[in-house]
Chains A and B, each alone.
Chain A
Amino acid sequence: MSKQRTTQPITTGTSVIGLVYDGGVMIAADTLLSYGSMAKSFNTPRLYNIEDRILLGASGEYSDLQEIVAKVKALALQETTNSMESIYVDRKLPAKSLWNYLRAVMYQKRSKMNPYWNDVVVAGWDDQADKPFLGTVDKLGTTLQENLVATGFGGYLAMPLLREKWRNDLSEGEARALLEDAMKVLFYRDCRASARIQLAKCTSDGCIVSEPYELDHSNGWNAPSMIRAAGDLDGDGGW
């Protein structure tokens, strides 16, 4: 049997977006699982809490994300229980180390022309620097550490909004409002996005991943000019 390689993603998740705020880092993603143009599942979470310290999320091929998370969870558990130091020191895997580990994994897979077809977002609290950490690794093994991240369509639709509104002293409430606004715009303009989203935050006290919930889009399509029939004879006939 000949070796097979990933050539295109089949079952996919769309954008993951994130930002650093005053006191932590917050990321968001919707919970729609797409199978090409079919909506396969409306309630598949794509944000994971690793050892209550690191947040992991990814867009792209869902099976590759599941594989990455399984490997990462095993690695993190190993660090805290099996490593030589763990009997002396309460050692926890730092987010930055995980980010670099994923870089190595993704680059090696890509070099063998068989990538994990994902854009991964890694977030956590950097204890050494005592600040939040937010970074990405893409399917080629490219890493970026930024205050604002967005994968996939998010780069085109969410990033302009995040860049316009972001300040380095955002409160948690402002950060959440900004992410929710961006997720709503993604729901309006990304064909593979849904209004059911998941939020996750990480502070020096630990990580928390929310349960999926629906964004309020009740005012999305009810502007009078949108409801009015454009083709009426008392108008200009529309298009």
Chain B
Amino acid sequence: MSELTRNIDIGAPAPSGFSFENTLRNQYMLSMKGSDTLPTPKKTGTTIVGLVYKDGVVLGADTRATSGSEVAEKNCEKIHYLAPNMYCCGAGTAADTEMITQLISSQLELLRMNTHSTSRVVTACTLLKRRLFQYQGHISAALVLGGCDINGPAVYQIHPHGSTAKLSYTTMGSGSLAAMAVFESSWREDLEEAEAVKLVQRAICAGIFNDLGSGSNCDVCIIRKDQSVDHRRNEVKPNEVGPLREKVHHSSLLTMTPGITPTLGNPVVRSHPTQPIGIGLADVEVTAMEVEAS
């Protein structure tokens, strides 16, 4: 078993990039139990969509982030900024989608400074796919990239292993089948903006209500050929829980307002966050720490 352990030299600098040590462990697991497949990784839930319409592109995403069967975040943002004329929806591991879009966004900005022109969608697609292919699928980011440039509106789907496809409409994530069913039923060429937004909302809502990995609200982002962007956070909120919470009757005995308990006096000195209470370091006597048992 010596090949599974490694003496870690604490003084040496940390190895950069991905550590593939677990491949040894995985090989061992395969040979151990006699089963010929490893435990499958869990698919993180999401519904993300993108489509091209007459005057640009519309992107959509749900807002649920899951950690296994638990909802980790009820209203997260899955539509990431890449450039003034480009946004990217991300499904898969949340950290991977966030970091890779930020990385490519800064690369695009540097490129804009160098070339003095607006970024092209195909550039972002190429930068993303090269990075993802380099990491052989270990960066678990499935993206729907959309934007408008000199070549017109474009929507790309990018898979974790680095394959891409340029399409007129696409969906990704665990709710992608529900959303794609809506698209296949209702998409046509050259939709008007209102129709396109409605179609995206319907597709995301299909994911929200039929896929357990997706939920909460629907975010929409419209990027038009004239380079105007309309990032509508929480465009549709079909799962508002506020009214439901209001209906729950809380006993008046359980709601405490300040001053409800009678007190004899008020000797407590209320400290302001920026003003010290009145104890300074000079007031404290410094003694050496006892390190040996006396």
Contact surface of A with B, Cβ cutoff 8 Å? 156-161, 163-164, 181-182, 184-185, 188-189, 223-226, 230, 235-239
CB distance from B212 to the nearest CB of A (A): 12
Point out the residues of chain B lying under 8 angstroms from A189, CB to CB. Answer: 177, 180-181, 184
Point out the residues of chain A lying under 8 angstroms from B156, CB to CB. Answer: 239
Residues 170 to 224 of chain B near chain A (Cβ within 8 Å): 177-178, 180-182, 184-185, 188-189, 202, 206-207, 209-210
Is A237 a contact partner of B122 (Cβ separation < 8 A)? yes
B52, B151, B209: the one within 8 Å of A236 (CB): B151
Closest B residue to A234 using CB positions = B151
Answer whether residue B161 sits at the interface, using C-beta atoms and an 8 A cutoff: no
Is A159 a contact partner of B210 (Cβ separation < 8 A)? yes
Give the number of A-B contacts (CB < 8 Å): 65
Point out the residues of chain B lying under 8 angstroms from A230, CB to CB. Answer: 166
Answer whether residue B121 sits at the interface, using C-beta atoms and an 8 A cutoff: yes
Is B206 a contact partner of A225 (Cβ separation < 8 A)? no
18 interchain pairs (CB within 8 A)?
A156-B177, A157-B178, A157-B181, A158-B181, A159-B178, A160-B206, A161-B185, A163-B210, A164-B206, A184-B185, A223-B188, A224-B189, A225-B52, A235-B152, A236-B120, A236-B154, A239-B156, A239-B165
B120, B152, B164, B185: the one within 8 Å of A185 (CB): B185
User: In the bound complex, what is the Cα–Cα distance between A178 and B85 (angstroms)?
Assistant: 38
CB distance from B189 to the nearest CB of A (A): 5
| With A156-B178, A189-B181 as contacts: A239 and B206 at CB distance below 8 Å | no
CB distance from B138 to the nearest CB of A (A): 22
Is A157 a contact partner of B188 (Cβ separation < 8 A)? no
Contact surface of B with A, Cβ cutoff 8 Å? 52, 120-122, 125, 149, 151-152, 154, 156, 164-166, 168, 177-178, 180-182, 184-185, 188-189, 202, 206-207, 209-210
Point out the residues of chain A lying under 8 angstroms from B168, CB to CB. Answer: 223, 225-226
Point out the residues of chain A lying under 8 angstroms from B122, CB to CB. Answer: 236-237
| With A157-B180, A225-B168, A239-B166 as contacts: A164 and B202 at CB distance below 8 Å | yes
Is A160 a contact partner of B166 (Cβ separation < 8 A)? no
| With A156-B178, A163-B210, A223-B168 as contacts: A188 and B184 at CB distance below 8 Å | yes
User: In the bound complex, what is the Cα–Cα distance between A239 and B130 (angstroms)?
Assistant: 12
| With A225-B52, A236-B120, A239-B165 as contacts: A185 and B178 at CB distance below 8 Å | no
User: In the bound complex, what is the Cα–Cα distance between A52 and B165 (angstroms)?
Assistant: 50
User: In the bound complex, what is the Cα–Cα distance between A86 and B121 (angstroms)?
Assistant: 74
User: In the bound complex, what is the Cα–Cα distance between A122 and B133 (angstroms)?
Assistant: 48
| With A223-B188, A223-B189 as contacts: A239 and B125 at CB distance below 8 Å | yes
CB distance from B205 to the nearest CB of A (A): 8
CB distance from A95 to the nearest CB of B (A): 27
A160, A223, A224, A225: the one within 8 Å of B181 (CB): A160
Is A238 a contact partner of B166 (Cβ separation < 8 A)? yes
| With A224-B189, A225-B52, A236-B151 as contacts: A161 and B165 at CB distance below 8 Å | no
Q: Given contact pairs A156-B177, A223-B189, A226-B168, enumerate 14 new A-B contacts (beta carbons under 8 Å).
A: A156-B178, A157-B178, A159-B210, A160-B182, A160-B209, A163-B210, A182-B181, A185-B181, A224-B189, A225-B52, A236-B121, A236-B122, A236-B151, A236-B154
